[in-house]
Amino acid sequence: MSFLFEDYCLDADRRELRRGSALIPVGPKVFDLLLFLVRNREQVVTRDDLLQAVWEGRIVSESTLTSHINAARNAIGDTGREQRLIRTVFSKGIRFVGKIVEAESTADGSVTNESTAIGKLVLTLPDSPSIAVLPFRNLSGNVEQDYFADGVVEDIITALSHIRWLFVIARNSSFTYKGKSVDEKQVGRELGVRYVGEGSVRQSESRIRITGQLVDALAGTHLWADRFEGRLDDIFELQDQIANSIVGAIASQLERAEIERAKRKPTGSLSAYDNYLRAMPHLHRGTREAIDLALPLFYKAMQLDPEFASAHAMGAWCHVWRKINGWMTDREQEFAEGVRLARLAVELGKDDAVALTRSATALAHLAGDLDGGIALIDKALVLNPNLAAAWFLGGFLKTESGDPDAGIEFLLRAMRLSPLDPEMFRIHAGMALSHLFAERFDIATLWAEQSFRQLPVFLLLVAIFAASHALAGRTERAGKAVDHIRKLDSTFRISSLQGWIPIQRPEHIALFENGLRQAGLPE
């Protein structure tokens, strides 16, 4: 039995803990402790429970027990302070609180597939990321529910097919595996894909539960798993919602997996797409040094493939980020270059949702074309309604155009589609800006604090932080935020708001200026 949570796989049979394709070394007692917590996740586990299960009743010191709990947390990226997965229940014990999906561990070996002849072919992997989504298993005991499971999978395949950089196996080939027990490695070889998506459907009275998971077929490791639930009151709307959620999660996990693969490739064999992937982690980090590393890689990708629309758009977006944080050294030249790249990306990527999304932000922030930017976001979402970046950057543009509540809806959709997004600090900043303009200052500061923890060098975020605290009456904290602004950009003033970000409504500019003024920022 394997237990899947976040991007970890705890394999009880092989006694292995993996994150994606990487094996995480853990000691025998730490593995036993973690496995016991996972298996007993519905209850609080006491000290005596652990001593009996892990140490077979032997007495061990409190420090030994604590060190093993800390080691278990460390192995799964948790801490005693964060307690994201292993939570301490005061004076009672500890409990595993992460979402778990259970899966049967499969033994290595081939699977006979008599219904398809392609198993006889040797298929090479495409240059781009490749995936097959298999029919979901119907666990309801009611064959009449097959149509619902099949419909979800067909929607997922259709939506993934809209992602230009992804090679997707057609529905007719994927569905040859319907009703069969499969081995993901064998499926990968037979269909010539690196990734396999699969899942199950279970109905209980008026509710339905769908689990989905993503497997690296080459390595045979789980990359992602999640569970989706809902009522059957409107089964087709539920089907669409679940398909959208799974697609957003799969796309995000695929991008992360491909970025990690690109990092490991030797420098001498890079193609345009590899340069693009190597740039993305730097872009996600968002520091000045990281953007300085990302931009040349995007330009290298453009040089290798002059029609690579997304590379042009990401280059334009880097100039936007430099503008917002006050990092430009030649504003006039960088504005012109960012606009040039964005317009070229739109021309090259008329059907590329990623290119349209990043170009939309660049044209809004560098060319002042906010309405045009929103129109491009709308087009991107028609092309790929599951692109989290389109929802979060669209949220910023909606808020800047004067509709913060619409912006919040966009940003919440982005978080739902990509709950582990590497750009989450930007989404949180968007929520803070939206609530600031909606005059919900306490809520704005809460979102700002979350973003600040991830990237304290984000100038716009710190300005939102200062203004929100000041308008909420917390002048001391607002003053500390202004001190931090001065460290980031000693030239930043209240007058800097004019032309900084494309805020359309005068009352929103006035509100922002008033907050910074009360916080103590000079005119």
> Which of 72-76, 89-93, 155-159, 170-174 is predicted most confidently?
72-76
**Whether pLDDT at 110 is above 60:** no
Listed as own residue / partner, the contacts of 231-239 with beta carbons closer than 8 Å and 24 or more positions apart are 231/206, 231/207, 232/203, 232/206, 232/207, 232/208, 233/206, 235/148, 235/208, 236/151, 238/208, 239/148, 239/151, 239/152, 239/155
Percent of the chain's residues with pLDDT above 90 = 33
CATH number of 122-263: 3.40.50.10610
- Phi, psi for 96 (deg, rounded to 5): -80, 120
pLDDT for the residue 466: 93
Residue in 475, 477, 465, 411 with CA at minimum distance from that of residue 441: 465
Q: Do domains 122-263 and 386-523 have the same CATH topology?
A: no
pLDDT for the residue 104: 65
Superfamily for domain range 266-361? Tetratricopeptide repeat domain (1.25.40.10)
Q: How confident is the model at residue 367 (pLDDT cuts 50, 70, 90)?
A: very high
What pLDDT, in 10s, does the model give residues 28-77? 899 999 999 999 988 889 988 899 899 988 888 888 888 899 889 988 88
- Average pLDDT, whole number, for the chain? 83
Q: With respect to CATH, is domain 386-523 assigned 1.25.40.10?
A: yes
Pairing of strands 167-168, 130-133: parallel
pLDDT for the residue 236: 63
Q: How confident is the model at residue 239 (pLDDT cuts 50, 70, 90)?
A: low
- CA dist 92 and 308 (Å) reads 57
State which H helix or E strand residue 158 sits in.
helix 146-161
Read off the pTM.
0.58
Beta-carbon contacts of residue 409 (< 8 Å; ≥ 6 apart): 395
What pLDDT, in 10s, does the model give residues 387-430? 788 999 999 999 999 999 999 999 988 886 666 577 788 899 99
- Phi, psi for 88 (deg, rounded to 5): -85, 130
Fold classified for 2-103: Arc Repressor Mutant, subunit A (1.10.10)
**Whether pLDDT at 111 is above 50:** no
> Which of 79-93, 147-161, 199-213, 465-479 is predicted most confidently?
465-479
- Which residue ranges make up each domain of the chain? 2-103, 122-263, 266-361, 386-523
pLDDT for the residue 33: 94
- CA dist 272 and 256 (Å) reads 17
